[in-house]
Structure 1
Amino acid sequence: MSKGPISQFIQHHYRHFNAAALVDAAQGYETHLLEGGKMMVTLAGAMSTAELGVSLAEMIRQDKVHIISCTGANLEEDIMNLVAHDHYKRIPNYRDLTPQQEWELLEQGLNRVTDTCIPEEEAFRSIQHNIVKLWKDADAKGERYFPHEFMYKLLLSKVMEKNYQINTKDSWMIAAAEKNLPIVVGGWEDSTLGNIFASYIIKNEMKATTMKSGIEYMVWLADWYRKNSEGKGVGFFQIGGGIAGDFPICVVPMMYQDLEWHDVPFWNYFCQISDSTTSYGSYSGAVPNEKITWGKLDINTPKYIVESDATIVAPLIFAYVLGW
């Protein structure tokens, strides 16, 4: 397909170093899809608050992403941006804030993520009111769902639609819900809604088992992977580090080594956008070849690492894959 101006700019100007790695990774992603492969995208950090949905949502709509692994924060923060965008506060000079100024933000209900403050009342509480009803309804019926399934129910019900403050085409969670895109969320408890859910368990208002667990996510992922790894196989596009990437990539060695299913293929494409430093023992910054020793990648798996800012790199790679 003919490429648009962003892709043409990338091809012409991005010739060396991290820029060249970006082009190689984008072309490898495109090739993987053209040859019939599927792709997992993993979201760490605060990519939803960075509004990655502006490009990721279109990737989902155009079937350039087949499964997502994300943190609990990324799962909820796209929806928070959806309903409270106008109340977010940007602080470009965040590096200059004193502890007293940080405390004042807390007192205003503004939770800071680098240069962006999420408004607690408009974001957290407006979602809480609606999601808790879904949790309690399921609990009363003895039904159990994964965290993302509750989110999908919330979005597809359109109960909050009148409160949307951004164009829905820029919400990756709406795009995912409409496609019923598979999502896995390791460590969902480490999120605002996860904390809220735990508070209801402590108050004996719900059962913990109403929410399906991380182990159940891993079991589900093993089944999904086996069903989708034929032919070109499944690629792994990792944005940042942490549990969003560590959790799902382990499904392959788990099946091969622990279940002794020796017909399980390795991940068949790997790219990580990272600014983590390997010399500190950081798994998030480990070069792709290290994953060979853990039974995650094959010797011949196409491997890329772009050591840069994911908020800059990911939209450019997505733009290339989309032909923009």
Structure 2
Amino acid sequence: MNKGPVSQFIQHHYRHFNAAALVDAAKGYETHLLEGGKMMVTLAGAMSTAELGISFAEMIRQGKVDIISCTGANLEEDIMNLVAHTHYKRVPNYRDLSPQEEWDLLEQGFNRVTDTCIPEEEAFRRIQKHIYKIWKDAEEAGERYFPHEFMYKLLLSGVMKEHYEIDPKNSWMLAAAEKNIPIIVPGWEDSTMGNIFASYCIKGDLKTSTMKSGIEYMIFLSEWYRQNSGGKGVGFFQIGGGIAGDFPICVVPMMYQDLEWTDVPFWGYFCQISDSTTSYGSYSGAVPNEKITWGKLDIHTPKFIVESDATIVAPLMFAYILGW
């Protein structure tokens, strides 16, 4: 494939240190797919609010992502950006804000993520009205679904279309819903929609059992991994640290050690983009070789780490893999 100007720039300028690691990792991702492997991408932090969908949605559409693991925040914040983008508020001088100015933002209905404020009324409440009905309808029909499946129902129903405020091609959740890509959402309860769901359960409007759990996600992932890890296997592309990466990577040692399924292959590729440094007990900052001792990666698994800001690195790597 002929590479476009962004890729050509990367190849010409990115020759050493983290820049070179970026190129090596992107080429490794390409090679893994070309040789028939599949890829999991994990999203930590607030990558959706950083508008990763502009590049990630195209990765999904072009079949370069087979399964996703993300926090509950990333699951919902891509949809929030889709339906409330023009109401977001940028605060470039966020480092200079006083406690009083932070309080003023809260009073105005803004929740700050670094330099970007999410508008509570337009983002959270706009989704809440529709998702509650989907939750309630499922419960009354005696049905149970995963958090991402409820979000897929919301998007595919079309009820949010009138509120779209960005080009829908830049929503990675919409791209994933249209392809029905499996999403693992560990710790979904730690999200705005998770908190809202809990509030309905506390009020007695909904039952906790209507939402499938994290243990059920692990069971689902074990089944998916067994079905898809033949040949070159499944690669693991980790953006950031935290539970979005920690939870799914453990499926391999869980099957190998706890279930004693000794024919389960290790992850076939590993890359992490992280600005977390190696320190005492830091898993996010641990070098990939540490994962060998936990039965997650093989000695021969291609391993890469790009120690940099994921909001800069991930779109560049996706651009390279897409040939832009």
When normalised by structure 1's length, the TM-score is 1.00
Q: Distance in 2 between matches of 1:160 and 1:275?
A: 36
Residue deviations 1:102-130, cap 9 Å, x none? Answer: 00000001000000000000000000000
Give 1:88 deviation, angstroms. 0.1
Aligned to 1:134, what secondary structure does the other structure show?
helix
- The amino acid that maps onto 2:159 is V
Aligned to 1:279, what secondary structure does the other structure show?
coil
The aligned residue for residue 297 of structure 1 is 297
Q: How does 1:1-324 map to 2 (within 5 A)?
A: 1-324=1-324
Q: Distance in 2 between matches of 1:75 and 1:256?
A: 29
- The amino acid that maps onto 2:319 is A
Runs of 4+, deviation exceeding 3 Å: none
Aligned to 2:272, what secondary structure does the other structure show?
strand
Q: Distance in 2 between matches of 1:80 and 1:96?
A: 26
Give 1:276 deviation, angstroms. 0.6
- The amino acid that maps onto 2:292 is I
Q: Distance in 2 between matches of 1:255 and 1:84?
A: 41
- The amino acid that maps onto 1:58 is E
Q: CA RMSD in A?
A: 0.4
- The amino acid that maps onto 2:17 is F
Residue deviations 1:61-116, cap 9 Å, x none? Answer: 00000000000000000000000000000000000000000000000010000000
Aligned to 1:275, what secondary structure does the other structure show?
coil
Q: Distance in 2 between matches of 1:169 and 1:280?
A: 42
Q: Where do 5+ consecutive residues of structure 2 fail to align? A: none
Q: Distance in 2 between matches of 1:98 and 1:184?
A: 38
Residue deviations 1:154-194, cap 9 Å, x none? Answer: 00001010110000000000000000001000000000000
Q: Where do 5+ consecutive residues of structure 1 fail to align? A: none
Q: Distance in 1 between matches of 2:45 and 2:280?
A: 19
Q: Distance in 2 between matches of 1:282 and 1:118?
A: 30
- The amino acid that maps onto 2:12 is H
- The amino acid that maps onto 1:198 is A
Aligned to 2:279, what secondary structure does the other structure show?
helix
Aligned to 2:260, what secondary structure does the other structure show?
coil
Q: Distance in 1 between matches of 2:118 and 2:281?
A: 32
Residue deviations 1:30-78, cap 9 Å, x none? Answer: 0000000000000000000000000000000000000000000000000
Q: Distance in 2 between matches of 1:294 and 1:196?
A: 36
Give 1:280 deviation, angstroms. 3.6
Paired residue total:
324
- The amino acid that maps onto 1:277 is T
Give 1:278 deviation, angstroms. 1.2
Q: Distance in 1 between matches of 2:18 and 2:280?
A: 21
- The amino acid that maps onto 1:51 is E
Q: Distance in 1 between matches of 2:157 and 2:181?
A: 17
Give 1:153 deviation, angstroms. 0.3
Aligned to 1:284, what secondary structure does the other structure show?
coil
- The amino acid that maps onto 2:135 is W
Q: Distance in 2 between matches of 1:280 and 1:128?
A: 41
Aligned to 1:278, what secondary structure does the other structure show?
coil
Q: Distance in 2 between matches of 1:127 and 1:147?
A: 14
